[in-house]
Structure 1
Amino acid sequence: MSENEPQEAEARAKLVPALERGVRILDTVARARGYLSLSDLARELDIAKSSAHTLCNTLVKLGLLIKRPDQTFLLGPHVMRWSNAFQQQSDLATEFAALWDRETQLPGATITLTVLEGNEVIYIAARNSDLSHPLFEFRAGMRLPAAFTATGKAFLSGMSDFEVRRLYPDGLPEPRTPSSVRTVEDLLQELQEIRERGYSCDDQQVAEGLVCFGAPVLDSRNRTMAGVAVSLLAEWLTPEQQENVIAEVKRIAQQLSQRMGAEIEQVAGPDRT
């Protein structure tokens, strides 16, 4: 036994067996040069045919596999959605940070990039600045209520009031600060203002003393696929600085949207003369 085998065995022991086998089936189908039958998969993975049958039926119902008329399998459309999302989000995160530092007058600022899941935003990229906010640390993978965050409000502003209400059948989450929006009706009023002015704002709704400005990133169908935001300390945010930050966030969001295939007009860059 090699010195790595105990660690590998321990890692395998922590896996959920059915999930692990399901992933192995997807991997096997993806690698195959032809179409595999149930018997092929059971033999390839060294599992009972009855287990392979149950797993494959589940994967078919979830859209992860397609069962062909000859009873063989190929990858389903749901896998492509994950692939596209991964590529877009990975590219988008890299593009966001590079664009911000290269083309704005606030290099090194606290910037975040999120996607929406249900009524929460998930941070897929976050870069913190000691200068801009020692009050709160954003982390890739963290979740926050969409109703309180600048990026979440950017997402929600692209929805109809009916869609927003459907996300909050039992009302909004518990407030994080005294400034957090309290009711769905108040949130809807905020969203209407965001639609009119073209940017979102979390004015100390996530953390006291921290103000965030956000804007949506659109995909090729002009639907919101991500939200971008920059965060600053409220105590040193001047009206002039606020105006500049808002303009930069909107412009970077539009540049990213264009690169994702959205059909929108490009905002002019900052005057560096």
Structure 2
Amino acid sequence: MLGSVSKAGRVLDLFTPEAPEWGVSEVATAIGIAKSSAHALLVTLDDIGLVRRLAGGRYRLGWRILELNRTLRHSTDFLGPHRARLQRMAVCLGATVHLGALQGREVIYVDKIVAPHGPVLAESGVGLAMPAHCTALGKVLLASLGPVDADAMLALHGLPRRTASTITDAVGLQEELERIRTLGYGLDLEEAVSSVCCVAAPVRDRRGEVEAAVSLTLPAGTFHDRQQQVRATVRSAAEAISRFRRDRLQLATAG
């Protein structure tokens, strides 16, 4: 059963904007299984709406995913209730706001708000992912894992270079993560995208565990001129979201 679920996940991972359609033989080759097994997986995924069969026998992602996305967004309490505040923050600073969560070795963007004249980054967008070690969001989330878990993940996946400023040695990154644990925020100083800097702070769930992170992104020159203000603003926003979630738990418990 678990093996079938894992294979189904690998099938879904094949569908990308660059490769939105797949045939049975292509799926079988891509994930290294028999054609009959690939067909069975696609039929099952079609039955539950996660893929849909086209007239020519090829497959695309199914409409059920939109329903699941809506459920996820409406049931994740750090997305909807605080978006207006994050929009004001973006406009006030002329910045781009990201919310991200850790998925394996990557940070996946779960929301993005671009202010008028703010930096528009092709590399980020809802549903896209970046290596965690080179983003402010990702480093905050890695820091929340603790040294042992972060070490294990980094040893498994490595530290690929994105720009000339990317931290690519384990010792340097662990020092950075320890600094984040002490200060409560993380920086990306042109480490993911040249000429762009970010600062991020952790978003905690109702029990105080880091579940996500929020960041502000600005052109490097603007960021360095206003770094103290940007740091204070993003930390205040993250703390407000976390406090809201904690207070909701306390009210539910009291009730």
TM-score of the superposition, structure 1-length normalised? 0.62
Amino acid at match of 1:112: H
Alignment of 1:98-247 (within 5 A): 98-102=84-88, 106=92, 109-129=95-115, 131-134=117-120, 136-170=122-156, 172-239=158-225, 241-247=226-232
Alignment of 1:62-101 (within 5 A): 87-89=74-76, 91-101=77-87
Q: Distance in 1 between matches of 2:163 and 2:247?
A: 35
Q: Distance in 1 between matches of 2:97 and 2:111?
A: 8
Q: Deviations over 1:238-262 (max 9, x none)?
A: 44x2111111100111111122227
Indicate the residue corresponding to 2:235 in structure 1: 250
CA contact 1:176–1:207 (8 Å) conserved in 2:
yes
Q: Deviations over 1:63-88 (max 9, x none)?
A: xxxxxxxxxxxxxxxxxxx9996544
Amino acid at match of 1:243: Q
Indicate the residue corresponding to 2:27 in structure 1: none
CA-CA distance at 1:100 after TM superposition: 2.1
Indicate the residue corresponding to 2:34 in structure 1: none
CA-CA distance at 1:126 after TM superposition: 1.1
> Percent sequence identity over matched residues?
27
> What's the Cα RMSD here?
3.3
Identify if the C-alpha distance between structure 1 residues 262 and 212 changes in structure 2 by more than 3 Å, giving closer, same or farther. farther
Q: Distance in 2 between matches of 1:24 and 1:138?
A: 32
CA contact 2:91–2:116 (8 Å) conserved in 1:
no
Amino acid at match of 2:233: E
Q: Aligned pair count?
A: 198
Q: Name stretches of at least 5 consecutive residues in structure 1 with no aligned partner.
A: 1-10, 27-81, 264-273
Identify if the C-alpha distance between structure 1 residues 14 and 178 changes in structure 2 by more than 3 Å, giving closer, same or farther. same
CA-CA distance at 1:187 after TM superposition: 0.8
CA contact 1:222–1:262 (8 Å) conserved in 2:
no
CA-CA distance at 1:212 after TM superposition: 0.2
Q: Deviations over 1:35-65 (max 9, x none)?
A: xxxxxxxxxxxxxxxxxxxxxxxxxxxxxxx
Find runs of 4+ consecutive structure 1 residues off by over 6 angstroms. 13-16
CA contact 1:219–1:262 (8 Å) conserved in 2:
no
Amino acid at match of 1:259: F
Q: Distance in 2 between matches of 1:181 and 1:198?
A: 19
Identify if the C-alpha distance between structure 1 residues 25 and 132 changes in structure 2 by more than 3 Å, giving closer, same or farther. closer
Question: What secondary structure does 1:182 align onto?
Answer: coil
TM-score of the superposition, structure 2-length normalised? 0.66
Q: Distance in 1 between matches of 2:247 and 2:135?
A: 24
Identify if the C-alpha distance between structure 1 residues 143 and 109 changes in structure 2 by more than 3 Å, giving closer, same or farther. same
Q: Name stretches of at least 5 consecutive residues in structure 2 with no aligned partner.
A: 1-19, 25-38, 50-68, 249-255
Q: Distance in 2 between matches of 1:105 and 1:111?
A: 10
CA contact 1:151–1:214 (8 Å) conserved in 2:
yes
Write 1 or 2 for the structure with the bigger share of helix: 2
Structure possessing the higher radius of gyration over alpha carbons: 1
Q: Distance in 1 between matches of 2:178 and 2:141?
A: 12
Q: Distance in 1 between matches of 2:103 and 2:228?
A: 30
